[in-house]
């Protein structure tokens, strides 16, 4: 057992449940994108685990690419500004159907900003896909095109999600013990 598991209050979504969610999402995406030119876009770092599963489960040719963004003032007062730390440099924006892959949507600011940004770049289409969605935390209106599971407002970690850069490697989505972040 990974020593980090001592900090987990309980498992919210098991490895097996995640696998089922991913299979369902990948089947739907494979159907919806069969006549398109899919560019699967990973938003680092949290989505990397879900992304790597999804790209192997979608049964279509695709390209992959990566961006890294961060919200100013995250965790304290959010200004709603999103800073691009790793940008997308391509010459074929008008030829690709971008599907942005996220691990979680919280305030909605990251994805609403990214969708606008990629449309402004001239992408042929821009849609969004998230493993987890926390609609109760929205600060801006945002509905993803594909959502794996709606979750309550709990402090979730694992399967790519971190607290202070830890727990990303846990193979399930767990709820962190409050004692860890109230220390
Ligand atoms: C998380 C997550 C999304 C964003 C969602 O990333 O991966 O990108 O927050 O929050 P929002 O809906 O309130 O904008 P984070 O900034 O924690 O970075 P990380 O992926 O590197 O952990």
| Spatial distance between the Cα atoms of 118 and 126, rounded to a whole number of angstroms | 7
Exposure on the CB side of residue 163, measured as CA atoms within 13 A: 19
Position 9 scores a pLDDT of 97
- The percent of residues in the chain predicted with pLDDT above 90, rounded, is 89
* pLDDT band, very low/low/confident/very high, at 74 (cuts 50, 70, 90): low
Asked, for residue 21, whether it belongs to a domain, the answer is: yes
Residue 79 has pLDDT above 70, yes or no: no
Position 78 scores a pLDDT of 47
pLDDT tens, position by position, 134-180: 999 999 999 999 999 999 999 999 999 999 999 999 999 999 999 99
Asked, for residue 147, whether it belongs to a domain, the answer is: yes
| Spatial distance between the Cα atoms of 127 and 99, rounded to a whole number of angstroms | 5
Closest atom, ligand 1, to C-alpha of 105 = 12
Catalytic residue among 7, 53, 106, 133: 106
Asked, for residue 84, whether it belongs to a domain, the answer is: yes
Average pLDDT, stretch 76-83?
62
Residue 114 has pLDDT above 50, yes or no: yes
Position 76 scores a pLDDT of 44
Position 71 scores a pLDDT of 76
Asked, for residue 33, whether it belongs to a domain, the answer is: yes
pTM of the model: 0.95
67 lines ligand 1 (CB under 6 A): no
CATH (domain of 22): 3.40.50.2020
Window from 29-43, 63-77, 105-119 with minimum mean pLDDT: 63-77
Average pLDDT, stretch 91-115?
96
Give the domain extent around 136: 17-151
Asked, for residue 124, whether it belongs to a domain, the answer is: yes
Burial per residue of 49-60, b for 16 or more beta-carbon CB atoms within 10 angstroms, e otherwise: bbbebbeebbeb
Asked, for residue 67, whether it belongs to a domain, the answer is: yes
Residues in the chain: 183
* pLDDT band, very low/low/confident/very high, at 183 (cuts 50, 70, 90): confident
Asked, for residue 127, whether it belongs to a domain, the answer is: yes
* pLDDT band, very low/low/confident/very high, at 80 (cuts 50, 70, 90): low
Backbone angles phi, psi at 110, to 5 degrees: -60, -50
133 lines ligand 1 (CB under 6 A): no
For the chain, what is the domain count? 1
Asked, for residue 167, whether it belongs to a domain, the answer is: no
- List the residue whose alpha carbon is closest to atom 10 of ligand 1: 106
Q: What is the mean pLDDT of the chain?
A: 94
């Amino acid at each position: 057992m990974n020593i980090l598991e001592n900090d987990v209050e309980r498992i919210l979504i098991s490895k097996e449940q995640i696998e089922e969610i991913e299979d369902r999402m990948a089947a739907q995406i494979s159907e919806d994108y069969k006549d398109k030119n899919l560019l699967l876009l990973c938003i680092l770092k949290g989505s990397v685990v879900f992304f790597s599963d999804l790209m192997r489960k979608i049964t279509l040719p695709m390209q992959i690419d990566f961006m890294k963004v961060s919200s100013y003032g995250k965790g304290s007062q959010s200004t709603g500004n999103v800073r691009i730390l790793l940008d997308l440099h391509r010459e074929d924006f008008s030829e690709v159907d971008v599907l942005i892959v996220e691990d979680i949507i919280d305030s909605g600011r990251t994805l609403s900003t990214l969708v606008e940004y990629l449309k402004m770049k001239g992408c042929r289409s821009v849609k969004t896909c998230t493993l987890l969605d926390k609609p109760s935390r929205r600060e801006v209106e945002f509905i993803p095109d594909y959502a794996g599971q709606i979750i309550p407002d709990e402090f979730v970690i694992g399967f790519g999600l971190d607290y202070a850069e830890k727990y990303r490697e846990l193979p399930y989505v767990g709820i962190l013990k409050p004692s860890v972040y109230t220390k």
